[in-house]
Amino acid sequence: MSRLKLFIVVTLGWHATLVVPSPEVRRTSQLSELSNLQVYNNTLYVGGLDRLYSFDEDLNVLQSADTCTGPCKSNYNKVLLLNETGQTLMTCGTGNGGICERRLLANLSYVAHSSSSGDNTNVDTLAVSTDRNRLAVALMWNMHLFFIAVTYGENVRNVSIRYGIWENIFSHAYNALTLRRTLFDINEVGNYEGNSKLRLQTSPGSLSSLNDFVVYYKYAFQYQLYTFLLTNQKTYVGDDTFVSKVARLCNYDPTFKTYVDMELGCEADGIKYNLVQDATVAQFNGTDYLIASFGKSSDPEVVIGAGVLCAISMTNLNSDLSQAKLEFVNGYPFNLLKRYLEINIYSNFVRKTSL
């Protein structure tokens, strides 16, 4: 099993260093559990616990909107996605059954559209888990569609899989990755095979629950012709070891048939850091790098202590992923019963392997 290793930038601890701010540093008053940021038209939009905020360049509050109404007890923001074309902000959180809402940039208190939290017949209803530890990430795919990856957890619906004579061969499944319109419905591209969704599933004949197949989506970004995902998940289904993986999708393939992934590792002073925490893409000396922070833990939901920053050029990352795809196509040995994702029996809807 090959493993992609990133080179070390710096080792650091998970604690804040005391810094005396310069006169240019701007600060807000204390706000409750901020989790996501978006910037547009010289305005900063922030998702916090039970509230959304917008700030001007001096960090003065322009708007403050309640996101926890009715029976909601607490709403921790998981997704904050800005749609410049529609002049809206999409938010998803742990409150109100994990539903997502679309709010106007000009009036954050006004909910222009929301996904249904009570429609039990619609398997494509958009909702994130009400468990704070089960993440979700999203990005605008183009002007009219957005991509979202939802970690399975409490209040995320199961989906039945049926293939004629193969009916119920897959005991549990859910739409892990979907490409949706801004009204939250799944984008249709002309036929069943082309529905823009990718399912996480249990193995055929397995009695295990989807909790055994959890993929923690940590970061999503687009670079050139591709969409990338960084995740924490088990090496393969049934293993006890959690690792980080990088997945790649082609932006010209809304059916997700181009899905390929491989393990992503980071090592410093002989110590392997197995869980990616966050990432960004930055340019140094004319070269684009993926820079990621890693921690070390046997539990993706509990990562404490020292961590490291690692980096790899995007050119090398794309090259390694392409090689991983070729190895699989050419018959790289892998037990398909240990896979995470659905394979369409008739058309090889998606192929996935751990390399």
pTM: 0.85
Q: Is 242 exposed, middle or buried (0-12, 13-18, 19+ CB in 10 A)?
A: middle
CA 302 to CA 306: how far, in whole Å? 13
pLDDT in the model for residue 336: 63
Of 32, 232, 261, nearest to 137 (Cα)?
A: 232
CA 337 to CA 84: how far, in whole Å? 42
Q: What is the pLDDT of residues 222-245, one digit of tens each?
A: 999 999 999 999 988 778 899 999
> Percent of the chain having pLDDT more than 70?
75
Confidence of residue 39 (pLDDT cuts 50, 70, 90): very high
pLDDT in the model for residue 204: 53
The average pLDDT across 130-159 equals 91
User: In this structure, are residues 138 and 160 in contact, taking their beta carbons and an 8 Å threshold?
Assistant: no
Least confident range from 35-39, 60-64, 188-192, 288-292: namely: 188-192
User: In this structure, are residues 174 and 199 in contact, taking their beta carbons and an 8 Å threshold?
Assistant: yes
User: Is 290 a residue whose pLDDT tops 70?
Assistant: yes
Q: What is the pLDDT of residues 155-180, one digit of tens each?
A: 888 776 555 444 445 556 788 888 99
pLDDT in the model for residue 192: 40
User: In this structure, are residues 219 and 279 in contact, taking their beta carbons and an 8 Å threshold?
Assistant: yes
CATH numbers and ranges of domains, the chain: 32-275+328-338 (2.130.10.10)
User: In this structure, are residues 137 and 143 in contact, taking their beta carbons and an 8 Å threshold?
Assistant: no
Question: CA separation (Å) from 198 to 85, 253, 344?
Answer: 26, 12, 11
Tokens representing 339 are: 């896979």
User: In this structure, are residues 287 and 262 in contact, taking their beta carbons and an 8 Å threshold?
Assistant: no
User: In this structure, are residues 128 and 187 in contact, taking their beta carbons and an 8 Å threshold?
Assistant: no
